[in-house]
Structure 1
């Protein structure tokens, strides 16, 4: 047996070690909280948003005129006027053929751009811009990240790509012209003539807006990705469908 005076005393951490240990535990806890928050933001909000979008889609498609799966005639005259709906009501469905198989290419278009609208994995119509098919600028917004990632692959759109709005009785078809990246205060992109707020419109435009960055390190709203398209043609749903959506199983 060792002599008592030769026995080692239990080691007690000093004040510095205790402080560093406490900081380490706080960092671990903070990391877990952040990780759970990101899972909720990126995954769970998407599931909930898509469920809401599906409910809107199912309800709206029940009101649509049946459209035979044949190529319809392209009408290039003035399209039918669309009657404005109330905030939160469906205008139609936004179909982006370029996104088929990549991301959601068939989503509700709802009046308004509040979070309650955009969080439904929907595209929201800026209420102070023109109606779909109207002379001027039919401008819409959607999330690029979280709550359905509706405009996640807006970067895939190129000049010549079609963007379709399907209302209850009409296909409105626009063709992409260009894109730009702007700061949030540059609201002239929503003008009746995009980027020219003093001009009087003579043509029909569609503008899509969303956040610029997909990077987790740049998750802020420091810039906007803007796509401009110009009206090409329309057709009654009763006559058939645009070629670009003819064989798309997601489109009613």
Structure 2
């Protein structure tokens, strides 16, 4: 009887160990899928879409964006919020307006940049950030399944289109699914952000950064962007703005960060 009890005990331990190892392997595979496979697949899809847009526009490369590679991350590439070393100029001082960029933009008629509203989830532009070696499609909407999880950057519906007066606001993943905004905190004041559309190429310059705010802070994407949670961050005058948003810190969606820029140049394709 004692031997039988011991044998049953050993079988129970062995079965438990097998179950434990099996669960561990399954979890490991899930992590690999999320952190490696989704990035690989999304970056390939995003790169193919960029090439398709260039062919559609009759262009072979990226005009006016020297050094911008086709990948989604900069071996540090990429994106999103989070703590990060020195992003922007701190975003302080809310009364600074768009300054000379407004005049330059209006004098060139940038308000007619995108007359027709793109279809939902349609990729219609290319975002390039040389400092991050980032070059990804911009699609209409911020749906995870239809836009963000494809490795694209999504345009907030209801905000302006590139080159128009107001705020051209974008969102992107910081981790997984291409993670285009993983290294967003690496952006500095004066870095260039280029939007290539069918009819024109728009150049914005990074101006301010909001390191952290709540997910519900809708003020950051208003026509005149200003945080409703941290009002010292933002602007007080109309202008031609771009906003890049993502989750922070990494591997969480507890907070959001934003990088703001101003339009400085536009040229027809």
Check the 8 A contact 1:184/1:222 in 2, yes or no: yes
Tell me which residue corresponds to 2:170. Answer: 140
Contact residue 65 and residue 168 of structure 1 kept, 8 A? no
Which residue is equivalent to 2:238? 202
In structure 2, the partner of 1:98 is 131
Distance in 1 (alpha carbons) for counterparts of 2:201 and 2:14: 64
- Secondary structure of the residue aligned to 1:146 is coil
SS in 1 for 2:28: helix
Q: Give the length in aligned residue pairs.
A: 219
CA contact (8 A) 2:201 2:268 kept: yes
Residue 77 of structure 1 deviates from its aligned partner by: 3.3
Measured after TM superposition, the shift of residue 69 of structure 1 is 6.5
Q: Distance in 2 between matches of 1:27 and 1:232?
A: 58
Say whether residues 1:188 and 2:224 are aligned partners.
no
TM-score scaled to structure 1, two decimals?
A: 0.76
- Counterpart contact for 1:94–1:165, Cα < 8 Å: yes
Matched, 1:64 2:61: no
Q: 1:33 to 1:156 in 2, by over 3 A?
A: same
Greater CA deviation, 36-45 or 178-187? 178-187
Residues 28 and 68 (structure 1), Cα distance of their counterparts in 2 relative to 1, 3 Å cut: closer
Post-superposition Cα deviations, 1:115-166, rounded to whole Å, max 9, x if no partner, equal 1111121101001211111111111111111111111111110111111101
Q: Supply the distance in 1 between the matched residues of 2:200 and 2:158 (Cα, whole angstroms).
A: 22
Residue in 2 that maps onto 1:155 = 185
Paired residue for 2:197, among 153, 160, 167? 167
Q: CA RMSD in A?
A: 2.9
Asked if 1:236 corresponds to 2:242, the answer is: no
Aligned to 1:122: 152
Partner of residue 78, structure 2: none
In structure 2, the partner of 1:246 is none
Q: TM-score, normalised by structure 2?
A: 0.72
CA contact 2:105–2:240 (8 Å) conserved in 1:
no
Specify the alignment match of 1:45 in structure 2.
Answer: 38
Q: Check the 8 A contact 2:111/2:165 in 1, yes or no.
A: no
Provide the C-alpha distance between the structure 2 equivalents of 1:50 and 1:123, rounded to a whole number of angstroms. 12
Is the CA contact 1:135–1:201 (under 8 Å) kept in the aligned structure 2?
Answer: no
- Distance in 2 between the 1:13 and 1:188 partners? 67
Q: Name structure 2 gaps, 5 residues minimum.
A: 66-100, 229-234
Greater displacement, 107-116 / 226-235:
226-235
In 2: Cα distance, 1:14 partner to 1:68 partner = 70
